[in-house]
Amino acid sequence: MTPELMEQGTRARLDHEALLAARQPGGSGGRTASFGRLLTEGRPDFGTGVALYLDDITVSFDGFKALNQLSLAINVGELRCIIGPNGAGKTTMMDVITGKTRPDEGTASFGQNIDLLRLRENEIAQIGIGRKFQKPTVYEQLTVFENLELALAADRRARASLFFRLSGAQLDRIAEVLQLIHLLPEAKAQAGLLSHGQKQWLEIGMLLMQDPKLLLLDEPVAGMTDEETERTAELFLSLEGQHSLVVVEHDMKFVDQLTQGRKKVTVLHEGSVLAEGLLAEVQANEKVVEVYLGR
């Protein structure tokens, strides 16, 4: 063995190690991602880049198929708009994801390791899926501040909440969200006294307090003024990237604002995906036009 050969071998080994080190932060489309990461029980693993995965979900109510072999994948950090005529199964889909409705068939997973169909509503919320209802749902008798305080990510158990005290950092976080949803002056007001649009904002603020990884938003701008709608779009766009968002909406102008002409839109019809693509593409799609105009 000559010194040259030994030197060559060492260099090759170092090069290979450097290559491995460079690959380590998951830069290779997830192929190396399955090595060297710790899976924590109860924590979603987003190594493959998919946040939510629905496969072949079927839900029937007395023979009526609300969802019919629906398959859908939402990526980490993606903002996906879902449109579709009334009764297309949009709300049922959210019910399945959040544990309110159990599907007859199919699988639903969060990350690649969490089976959503085995968890209850509150457990699903705790692992990081937040949901906004179609009708704004806030605690009417409590103040705006208290509404946010309850949504704050903290120990959810009964005993812990008996002795809970807000820390300075948590108080600042509430103030931050209040500012974000433009409700700081109303912090001490009863939530029931807010306008419809403000209640929508409060509920969105409550979702943000939970710090969810995936937000499901059912018609978030219903009943908002044009200006409020625009501000909501800005807010959602600022969340894109840090959170995955699924927005169900009828308002095409709002969808256009959100997708900015480059993001995918999914069209649901009779419980399954009818079309997927850019907003302009799906609007030009004959099947979609037929469904919407009833031809």
Does position 102 interact with other proteins (CB under 8 A)? The reply is no
Does position 114 interact with other proteins (CB under 8 A)? The reply is no
Residue 145 burial (CB < 10 Å; 0-12/13-18/19+)? buried
Nearer to other proteins, 73 or 175 (CB): 175
284, two tokens: 């030009």
Nearer to other proteins, 5 or 162 (CB): 162
Nearer to other proteins, 2 or 40 (CB): 40
Does position 53 interact with other proteins (CB under 8 A)? The reply is no
Q: Which of 3, 29, 63, 168 binds other proteins (CB under 8 A)?
A: 168
Q: Considering the complex, what minimum distance in angstroms separates the CB of residue 284 from other proteins?
A: 37
Does position 118 interact with other proteins (CB under 8 A)? The reply is no
Nearer to other proteins, 46 or 145 (CB): 145
Q: Which of 40, 86, 165, 294 binds other proteins (CB under 8 A)?
A: 165
Does position 13 interact with other proteins (CB under 8 A)? The reply is no
Does position 138 interact with other proteins (CB under 8 A)? The reply is yes
For residue 186, the SS3 value is helix
Does position 117 interact with other proteins (CB under 8 A)? The reply is no
Task: Quote the CA–CA distance of 258 and 241 in Å, as a whole number.
Answer: 13
Q: Which of 33, 83, 151, 217 binds other proteins (CB under 8 A)?
A: 151
Question: Which stretch in 22-30, 116-124, 247-255, 263-271 sits in contact with other proteins by CB under 8 A?
Answer: 116-124
Q: Considering the complex, what minimum distance in angstroms separates the CB of residue 146 from other proteins?
A: 6
Q: Considering the complex, what minimum distance in angstroms separates the CB of residue 152 from other proteins?
A: 9
Map the footprint of other proteins across residues 231-290, applying CB under 8 A: none
